Amino acid sequence: MDKSLPSFSTRSKVLMIEDDVSYARLIEILLSESSLLSCEVVKCHTLHDGLEAMETEEFSAVLLDLTLPDSTGFETLETMLHRFSNHNIIVLTGRVDKDLGIKAVKAGAQDFMVKGEFDGDQLAKALRYSIERKNVMSRLEDAQRRARIGHWECDPSRRYFYASKETYRLFDLDPAKVHFTCEDLQSPDSPFAPLMEIEQLTRSNGNARQDITITGNEGQIKYLSLQCQAEEVGEDQFVFSGIIQDITDRKQSEELKKAHDLAQQTAKIREQVLASVSHEMRTPMNAIVGMTNLLLSSSLNEEQLNFINSIKQSSDVLLGIINDILQISALQNELIVFKNKQFSLQELTEQLKAVMRPKLGEKELIFRIHLAPDIPDQLHGDQIRLSQILFNLIGNAIKFTDQGFIELNVSKVQETDGFYLLQFDLKDSGIGIPADKIDSIFETFTRISSKDRITEGTGLGLSIAKKLVEQQGGRIWAQSEEGVGSVFSFELKFQKISEQPETANVKVAPQVYPDLERPFTVMVVEDHRINQMVIQKTLEKKWPNVRIIMANHGGEAIELLQEKPEVDIILMDLLMPVRDGFETASYIRNEMDGDIAGIPILAMTANAHISEDGKYHQYGMNDYILKPFKPNELFTKITYHLAKPEPK
Ligand code: ADP
């Protein structure tokens, strides 16, 4: 086989529209004799029949006699081009009307041949070219279909319009069934009307771009991007070409991203609002918890004691929720600083067990702890956060297990020169979690409702645990079977401890401070009346010899201090009118006389993260008390700072 010739894998079809039966037969014979081409010839005798055949079948080329019973001359070609603008048409003319052939090629025919002047090989060559052109066209159509890009051209002066098959498909039209001419497009109802609109836009600056939406046959929204450019070919005469692209997937993913961003933003706003509401709630909670503690230490009959205990339990739950919300918002904003130091894993787990004992006892649950023997007892990490993660997981295990056991297993996953990677598995024999819900339980505010169970909680415990684990570079996951139980697992790295014990880790006996027997004075700077009362009463109950000087805000505190009263310690609220706690503390430290400037100052704050930002220290305050304060913590801190000589 001659390799220089293109090979045609399928037998091509050629349409011959010729009314002279014997001439048609002659052409058939000529073609069959040529070795250049093997094709099937379909014959029609009128233009009408020819157009109909083209409607139903694909032809590689059309041999068109211009003089037919139903159409003669140049009009025959025009009618055909108008209907099938992109077909390969070879015009057959007589010797006398050779000029017509030239005119036909100018108008868009592929070639012309003068009857009686060509042999079989010449005709076959022209047809081969047509067939190859057709193949190139169909490859282009195929590429357009895959890329979902169509193209179209329009030349109104020639009443020429061509749109690729993909252009039809992009408008949800079947290119085998519909065909639009230049005239069809002028109608505003035409599905191709947007092509005409953009065509108008190109007239001003030569090109235009527009994204449009259309509704597809099945009601689906399609996004199409149109680009068009105009070339001026004569005075006020333009040829119009454009491309059209389906950008539905891109638009939909953009919209999904937008919706996703919006959902994230909404969640963030929701958490911020909750965090600020919770923050505001801590002040009145301070009063409730404080007053409850005061009442509990007074003489009460049994009924009153029960009432007060109920108030205390409820306020502890409420405080837990508020603290969770504040913590998740701090974690979300990456405000938590992890503090690593040496600790004993065994002590930590035993302490957790001791704290959980009352709850475990209520349900008669067995709690087993198993630490793998190859894990050293002393680790280096943030023990407070580790306790918190385990506390949340154990709390849930108890909450969702009515009978059976809870088991904590700790194993070593990896050991390098610098660290241990440990895996904690908390297993319970509880109610389990449905398979379709397991992926969402770590999201904020997710609780799985169950008709026969009233669950308390905010749906924050697991998201806090997840963030605490992930922000330390670890990972957390859960496995569960409904009715059988769950296993919550997490992996965390712990640094190996160096040979030299860190000074901070040297165990010291807990310090016992002598109780204050001498009279002493506490200045309380606090704008909230009930809190003033709670602090005053709490201190007076503990120390009958205490003298309280009350200031309603920072400005008043400074005025009172300028009178140089004997003050041993100042309890300073942070958020106050006139002068806030930070400003007042720094004024006392930097602007006031030596004795006053050295008075110990304890910040009092409802901000659960004060220890993390250390701001109280920068403003010269010695320590802080978290509100609602635990009376014993307040007493210990006051005693400590009064017993300890403050560095001047
Ligand atoms: P909450 O603080 O309300 O308990 P969490 O974030 O800790 O919220 O847990 C979310 C949800 O995951 C719970 O409401 C519960 O439906 C489910 N869940 C968590 N732990 C367990 C468990 N051990 N067994 C069964 N379900 C659990």
Crossing angle (nearest 10°) for helices 302-332 and 248-296 = 150
Which has the closest alpha carbon to 165: 150, 184, 148, 180? 150
**Token duo for residue 393:** 């997981």
Q: State how far the Cα of 155 lies from the Cα of 185, in Å rounded to an integer.
A: 12
| Confidence band of 146 (pLDDT split at 50, 70, 90) | very high
Check residue 37 and give its pLDDT: 82
Atom 14 of ligand 1 has which residue's CA nearest to it?
Answer: 447
Mean predicted confidence (pLDDT) in 568-590? 92
Q: Are 243 and 227 in contact (CB under 8 A)?
A: yes
| Confidence band of 193 (pLDDT split at 50, 70, 90) | confident
Strands 207-215 and 221-234 turn out to be: antiparallel
Mean predicted confidence (pLDDT) in 71-84? 88
Can you name the residues that pair with 419 across neighbouring β-strands? Answer: 495
**Quick one: which atom of ligand 1 is closest to the CA of 401?**
24
Check residue 509 and give its pLDDT: 39
Residue 112 makes CB contacts below 8 A (sequence gap 6+) with 90, 91, 92, 93, 100, 101, 102, 104, 105
**Quick one: which atom of ligand 1 is closest to the CA of 442?**
6
**Token duo for residue 480:** 């569960």
Q: State how far the Cα of 267 lies from the Cα of 253, in Å rounded to an integer.
A: 21
Check residue 342 and give its pLDDT: 92
Which has the closest alpha carbon to 325: 609, 70, 99? 609
Q: Rounded to the nearest whole angstrom, what is the distance from the C-alpha of residue 462 to the centroid of ligand 1?
A: 7
Q: Is residue 614 predicted with pLDDT exceeding 90?
A: no
Ligand 1 pocket test: which of 447, 464, 469, 477 has the largest number of ligand atoms within 8 Å of its C-beta? 447
Taking the CA atoms of residue 215, residue 221, residue 223 and residue 226 in that order, the dihedral angle to the nearest 10 degrees is: 0
156-177 pLDDT per residue, tens? 887 788 899 999 999 999 887 7
Q: Rounded to the nearest whole angstrom, what is the distance from the C-alpha of residue 310 to the centroid of ligand 1?
A: 25
**Quick one: which atom of ligand 1 is closest to the CA of 462?**
6
Check residue 12 and give its pLDDT: 83
Which has the closest alpha carbon to 282: 318, 335, 331, 334? 318
Q: State how far the Cα of 459 lies from the Cα of 445, in Å rounded to an integer.
A: 4
Can you point out the beta strands (E) in 23-124? 39-44, 61-65, 67-68, 71-72, 89-93, 111-114
Q: Rounded to the nearest whole angstrom, what is the distance from the C-alpha of residue 45 to the centroid of ligand 1?
A: 82
Q: State how far the Cα of 398 lies from the Cα of 353, in Å rounded to an integer.
A: 12
Which has the closest alpha carbon to 461: 271, 324, 353, 272? 324
Residue 499 makes CB contacts below 8 A (sequence gap 6+) with none
Q: Are 584 and 558 in contact (CB under 8 A)?
A: yes
Mean predicted confidence (pLDDT) in 13-23? 92
Helix (H, G, I), strand (E, B) or coil at 178: coil
Whether residue 428 has its Cβ less than 6 Å from ligand 1: yes
Q: Rounded to the nearest whole angstrom, what is the distance from the C-alpha of residue 486 to the centroid of ligand 1?
A: 10
Mean predicted confidence (pLDDT) in 391-396? 93
Q: Are 14 and 113 in contact (CB under 8 A)?
A: no
Check residue 645 and give its pLDDT: 54
Ligand 1 pocket test: which of 462, 480, 481 has the largest number of ligand atoms within 8 Å of its C-beta? 462
Q: State how far the Cα of 186 lies from the Cα of 457, in Å rounded to an integer.
A: 66
Whether residue 431 has its Cβ less than 6 Å from ligand 1: yes
Q: State how far the Cα of 377 lies from the Cα of 345, in Å rounded to an integer.
A: 5
Q: Are 108 and 62 in contact (CB under 8 A)?
A: no
Q: State how far the Cα of 108 lies from the Cα of 517, in Å rounded to an integer.
A: 114
**Cβ count within 10 A of residue 518:** 8
Ligand 1 pocket test: which of 365, 441, 487 has the largest number of ligand atoms within 8 Å of its C-beta? 441
Whether residue 175 has its Cβ less than 6 Å from ligand 1: no
Whether residue 281 has its Cβ less than 6 Å from ligand 1: no
